[in-house]
Amino acid sequence: PLYAVNFGARDGTGTGGNTDPTYPLFADLGFRGMAVEASSDFQEVLRDNLRAFNVTVVQSFITVQNAVELIKRVGLPFVDVFKIDIDSFDCDVMPTVLRAYRPALVIAEFNVYFPPPIKMKLVPSASGYDSNKRGTTYECSIQFLNDDVMRPLGYVLLQLDWQNVIYARREIAAALGMHGGVDVQAAYHKGYTLQPNRTTHIPWGMSLEHLQHFPSHQQRMAAALKWVQASTHRQQEGMLIGCGNELISMHFRP
């Protein structure tokens, strides 16, 4: 059997017109696995939607400290497909699972508002993170995800569509004829920047829309730093932001 893990399952099928990518794996391809969701609002419908399949539903917050333990507790022998969308410290949780289980494919959400080559990552905090209070600082940018999380662990980008990406282990990408994967900046431009209705489809990041229109990377980075210094936050947050190997640590209070 093949196994999939869904971190941030919500109702298990997808809401608002978006199909959860693990649902067809469970419903159509016979994958076994687990679905983890913290919110009580989704527990009943999540269990109803996945009841017919060999999937264990777990109610829990997902942290860097407990991510691998949650999978171990269910007893999955492997993880073939790992999906994560927890709107918070995704880019710190991912490495723990990837090192422990080496899934063939990773499906993840990233922070689409910070375009390449800007690197941005929400920093885990002892005070936690309330995704209901999130603004535009959450998860990490595609450049950070690619350069600092996925490629060092042997994964390459296969596809970027809106704020979602699919990565594969390097040897699997090669077997598919996609040696080295696709270029991050080109994929972002095609998968997000050129979307004709992106400002209405994902309107919450309009305060950062101006970053899409600078002609040079240097101007884009300077504008991002200026925005960060002037931004307001609804909760205590920390972030890394920068370009290349030069990352600045910043902390905010409401």
Of the candidate ranges 82-86, 115-119, 129-133, the one whose mean pLDDT is the lowest = 129-133
For residue range 26-47, what is the model confidence (pLDDT) as tens digits? 999 999 999 999 999 999 999 9
**Summary mean pLDDT of the chain:** 94
Residue environment code for 95-109, b if the CB has 16+ CB neighbours within 10 A, otherwise e: bbbbeebebbbbbbb
3-state secondary structure 82-122: EEECCCCCHHHHHHHHHHHHCCCEEEEECCCCCCCCEEEEE
pLDDT in the model for residue 135: 85
pLDDT band at 195 (very low <50, low <70, confident <90, very high): very high
Q: Concatenated DSSP letters for 137-171?
A: --SB-HHHIIIIIIGGGTEEEEEEETTEEEEEEHH
pLDDT for residue 166 is more than 90: yes
Residue 136 and residue 120 in contact, taking contact as beta carbons nearer than 8 Å: no
Closest CA to 6 of 44, 60, 65, 52: 60
User: What pLDDT band is residue 204 in, cutting at 50, 70 and 90?
Assistant: confident
Closest CA to 46 of 62, 54, 58: 58
Distance CA(202)–CA(117), nearest Å, equals 21
CA-to-CA distance for 142 and 165, rounded, in angstroms? 9
C-alpha 3/C-alpha 96 separation (Å) is: 18
pLDDT-based confidence at 142, cuts 50/70/90? Answer: very high
234: pLDDT confidence band, cut at 50, 70 and 90?
Answer: confident
Q: Average the pLDDT over 215-221 and give the result.
A: 93
pTM to 2 decimals? 0.95
Q: Is the pLDDT of residue 127 over 90?
A: no
CA max distance for the chain = 53
Helix (H, G, I), strand (E, B) or coil at 242: strand
Question: Which pLDDT value is given to residue 205?
Answer: 87
Q: What is the pLDDT of residue 17?
A: 66
Report yes or no: 225 and 241 within 8 Å, Cβ to Cβ.
Answer: yes
Token pair for residue 165?
A: 């990406």
Give the integer Cα–Cα distance in Å for 219 and 74: 48
Residue with tokens 């603004």: 135
**What distance in Å separates the CA atoms of residue 218 and residue 244, rounded to the nearest whole number?**
12
Neighbours of 31 (CB within 10 A): 21
Residue 16's pLDDT band (cuts 50, 70, 90) = low
Q: What local confidence, expressed as pLDDT, does residue 231 receive?
A: 87
